[in-house]
Amino acid sequence: MRIFLTLGLLLMVSSAFAEVPSAVTQTANRLQQLMNADKVSVNPSPIANLYETMIGNEAFYISADGAHFIRGDLYESKTPRNLTDEKRNQLRIKALNTMSERKMVVFAPKNATKYTVNVFTDVDCHYCAKFHNEVAKLNEYGVKVRYFAFPRAGVGSPTYKKMVSVWCAKDKKQAMTNAKAGREIKPVVCKNPVAKQLQLGQSIGVTGTPALVLSDGELVPGYVPAYKLISYLRQSLGKK
């Protein structure tokens, strides 16, 4: 039975697993409150009597009696696969899928899309501007770039207001290009997803910009030149 805790609210979702011991859920609830998180998921782990607990992007493994927990990643020894990181990737994709593409600033290839890269960006970030200068090259190789707002200075900052203007512009793509080139953009205010996207990025482990999330959920922090990114996409996701 999969269990979700939301600050005192306990929601059970049936699954093929045995019921999670109450001692585990109590410990998970305490950890959730300490981290001031909205929700936590608890599932049996590959190790007997140890329960995987994801609080935001952080992984904990709680003993069946709830008396002890381990914070960190779980690896499979034969491969070795990072099972915790795979779970994080799944959660990132699930989180990104809650956001409609209409609320992003999207630079798509003219022809078929081979790969999609989600980029958390800040218009006043030097390396974000450097990445943006190579978006046309990425498009040529069939890479769709979907921008999410991540104003590092926070809600209400000058960068935040500038990014609101980008997301509210009639031509969002041109406004994004102008902002990253240091050109003035017309101040505009509308109902926008900038604050929500900032929160979304923080919830999946984004701490700086640019931050790339690939279609399999892998988080790639920092600037990556176009030629290296294309090579990595082919290697990790397969050539299409």
Which residue type sits at 219? L
Active site residue 128: yes
Element (H, E) at 156: none
Contact (Cβ atoms closer than 8 angstroms) between residue 132 and residue 180:
yes
**What gap in Å lies between CA 74 and CA 72, rounded to an integer?**
7
Burial of 194 (0-12, 13-18, 19+ CB in 10 A): buried
Active site residue 125: yes
Of 73, 128, 171, 216, catalytic: 128
Strand partners, 81: 76
Active site residue 183: no
Bond before 193 cis per omega within 30 degrees: no
b/e per residue 62-97 (b: at least 16 CB within 10 A): bbeebeebeeeebeeeeeeeebbbbbbbebbbebbe
**Torsion 101-233-230-210 (CA) sign:** positive
Q: What are phi and psi of 32, to 5 degrees?
A: -60, -45
Active site residue 102: no
Residue positions counted in the chain: 240
Of 88, 92, 124, 152, catalytic: 152
Q: How far is CA 155 from the centre of its chain?
A: 18
Of 73, 122, 183, 234, catalytic: 122
Of 125, 171, 190, 216, catalytic: 125
Residue 211: other Cβ atoms inside 10 A: 22
Residues assigned a catalytic role:
122, 125, 128, 152
